Copies of this chain bind each other. A is one copy, B any other.
Amino acid sequence: MSKCEQCIIRQFNSLKALTKEELVRISGCKTSRIIKKGEVIFEEGDTINGVFCVKDGVCKLSKLSSNGRDQIVKLVVKGDLLGQRSLVGEESANLSAVALNDMEVCFIPKHEIMNDLQKNTKFTLDMLQQMAHDLKESDNVIVDMAQKSVKNRLADVFVYISEHFGVDDQGFLAINLSREDYANIVGTATESAIRIISQFKKEGLISTQGKQIKIENLQKLKRVE
């Protein structure tokens, strides 16, 4: 099994603040795992007892609303940590995590990393920084959800995905979400999302091939209201 202290992924998250010795120790107790597309990593209410370090792939974090619909709150990508909140406090998971494509993750048990959280201030401060950033992002999402139209939000999602995940060799968005996933990100009915996608196609903002989406006019997409 590969070793944490040699893993370049940790450069992208708070684990970079750990010392070599700490990494060696964690390396010894972590478990690596392949997760297939569509597989559930954990569910709302589960007790997680550790963090996942995402080595490859993407997953969605979502929560079931009282109206029976799933709301996707965040996309977690290669380099991110998953389930940090399980480290602070004893609460169970507030969100469900489901793989959007094949993933490779490492799981680090809580009891191993809690030591570092209590002794390595650099690590704790880095986590604090990360959470502060996430909190800011969340606040911005709240504002967008409350104030922007569904059409605007969906356009934003396409822009966001193209900028954060890039495109494949044919120019299609590098991750493929279902129309239902798109609807669950912007918080609308699946039919509404499909309808807006059709409209965007007619207006030349995007094109599609099957479920794949290609951005044809990024500037116009950014100006959708």
By size class, the interface of chain A is 35 or more
With both chains docked as a complex, state the minimum distance between the C-beta of A120 and any C-beta of chain B, in angstroms: 9
- Which of A91, A128, A144 counts the most B-chain CB atoms under 10 A from its CB? A128
With both chains docked as a complex, state the minimum distance between the C-beta of A198 and any C-beta of chain B, in angstroms: 22
Residues of B within 8 A of A225 (CB): 67
Which candidate, A34-42, A145-153, A163-171, A201-209, is the interface stretch facing chain B? A145-153
With both chains docked as a complex, state the minimum distance between the C-beta of A12 and any C-beta of chain B, in angstroms: 17
CA distance A125 to B71 in the complex (A): 30
Name A140-163 residues within 8 Å CB distance of B: 140-148
Interface string of A182-215 (1 = CB under 8 A from B): 0000110000000000000000000000000000
CA distance A127 to B127 in the complex (A): 11
Interface string of A111-147 (1 = CB under 8 A from B): 0000001110100110111011111101111111111
